[in-house]
Structure 1
Amino acid sequence: MRESVIYQEILEVGLQEGEKRGVQTERSLVLRLLTRRVGVLPQEVRQRVEALPLEELENLGVALLDF
């Protein structure tokens, strides 16, 4: 069953959905931390953070710990 094309497609879709949720969660957390540190963020800053890939979001989150 695990070798079937349908199974593999369902698995791939599930992994992609999980990754999207992970990025959304990370993005939300970073925006909340930034807002807590510096106050209301300008729309341009929010948009730039929202456009960051996961790795850069993670780096920004870690950098906020030292900020």
Structure 2
Amino acid sequence: MKESVIYQDIVQKEAFKLISRLLKRRFGDIDGSLVEQVRDLSAEQLENLGEALLDFSEVADLVAWLERQEQA
């Protein structure tokens, strides 16, 4: 079950919803292009972002983190 595409899609969508709420609470409304970049992350990347978010102090930290993900 964990290997199915449907399961992974559900996990990714739920992780995105949680990370979106955390980002909104931390920074308020953020640019739509950033939201779309976050939406496109895999479930594993979203989990990593959730941990990294604890260290972010400004939206620029999120931008830098997303740029590092694109380079990897």
Does TM, scored on the shorter chain, surpass 0.5? yes
| Distance in 2 of aligned mates of 1:22 and 1:49 | 14
Structure 1: runs of 5 or more not aligned: 1-10
1:63 deviation in Å? 1.1
State the identity as a percent: 36
Deviation at 1:36, TM superposition (A): 0.4
Count of residues in Structure 1 that have an aligned counterpart in Structure 2: 56
For residue 63 of structure 2, what is the aligned residue in structure 1? none
- The alpha-carbon deviation at position 58 of structure 1 amounts to 0.8
Distance in 1, Cα, partners of 2:55 & 2:16: 18
Which of the numbers 3, 18, 21 marks the counterpart of 1:29? 18
1:46 to 32, 35, 38: 35
Looking at structure 1, the residues matched to 4 and 40 of structure 2 have their Cα atoms a distance apart, in angstroms, of 21
**Which of 1 and 2 has greater Rg?**
1
Q: Where does structure 1 differ by over 4 angstroms across 4 or more consecutive aligned residues?
A: none
The two structures have a TM-score, normalised by structure 1, of 0.71
Query: Structure 2, unaligned stretches of length 5 or more?
Result: 57-72
| DSSP 3-state at the match of 1:63 | helix
Q: Which amino acid aligns with 1:60?
A: L
